[in-house]
Amino acid sequence: MNNPYLKFVSEYARLINEGAGCQLGGFPPVARSSLSKDAPRALVFSPHPDDECIVGALPLRLLREQKMNVINVAVTQGSRKDRQMERLNELRNACDYLGFGLIQSAECGLEKINVKSREHEPELWEKSVQIVAGIIADNKPNVIFIPHENDWNSTHIGTHFLVMDALQTLPESFCCWICANEFWAPMNNPNLMIETSVADLTDLVTALSFHVGEVSRNPYHLRLPAWMQDNVRRGGELVGGQGGEPPNYVFATLYRLQKWTHQKLETGKKAGRFVSCNDSLNLIFG
C-alpha cells in the first residue's frame, strides 16, 4: 500500500533543500502607503538584529492594517564587535524591506544586557535603563513588544527586564500595551494567537534573509514557517484552554498582551483571543 505521508514529509524536505538555494537579501522594499505624521507608534525592542523579523507578525499587521508607525529598537547589535556594523547594515536593509523604522540604542548597541549585569553592575545597568526610558518617552508608543521574562537567551531575558525597569521610571500617567513575545523558549501563558497570511509570512522570511551573515551559518529563515505552524498546535490550547480546539490557521504567532497603566502591568480584558487574517485588530487594540 502506498503511504501518502511519505510524499507529505518528502515535500517538507524538498522545500527546505530548495530554499537553501534562494537569494539572501537584495530584494526591493515592499510597496507601501505613506503613514500620517501623527500615526500611533509601536516599538519593537529587539535583543539582536533579526528578532524584528522573527516576532514581526503582529507588528507587520499593525503597520499594514492599522497604519501604525512600527519602529524597531536595536537594543544590541550582537556580541561580536567585528560584526556589529555589518549587522546594523543588515538590520537597516531588513527594516527598509518591511517598512519598519529603526532606532539605535547606541552607536554599537548596548552591552551586557543580561540579568547578571542588572544584579552586579548597577551603574552600567542604570545607564542603559535611562537610554531606553528616553526612547519610550520620546516616541510615546501605543504598543511595546518585548521578549518574555523566560525566553532562555540571556540577552532576550535582559531586554525584558531592561524595558520593564525603564517603564518604572516614567510618569504614572504613561500607559501603553505591552506585548510579550517568544522565540528561544515558549511562554507558559500566552493569551493571543495572531494568524499570519502567506503574503505576510513571505515578507517576514524575505526580510530575515537580509541578515545574511547569520542565516548563512544557520538558515533559520527557512524554518520560520514550520515554527509558525507549531505555534498553531500549541496556541490552540495555551490560548484557548486545555483541551481546546485550535482554529483552522496554517501560520500564527503567540503573544502575551497586557496593559501598562499606573506603573504596573494589568492583564487586558480582551485576553485569550484568536485573531484571524480576516479579523480587525480593533478586537484587541480598539
Which domains are seen in the chain, by residue range?
38-285 (3.40.50.10320)
| pLDDT tens digits, one per residue of 221-242 | 999 999 999 999 999 999 999 9
Q: What is the pLDDT of residue 285?
A: 79
Q: What is the pLDDT of residue 266?
A: 87
The grid coordinates listed for 155 are 540577552
Q: What is the pLDDT of residue 45?
A: 98
From CA 134, how far away is CA 282, in angstroms rounded? 28
Q: What is the pLDDT of residue 55?
A: 98
pTM: 0.96
Nearest Cα to 194, choosing from 137, 256, 144?
256
Q: What is the pLDDT of residue 212?
A: 98
Within the chain, which residues score under 50 in pLDDT? 270
Q: What is the pLDDT of residue 283?
A: 83
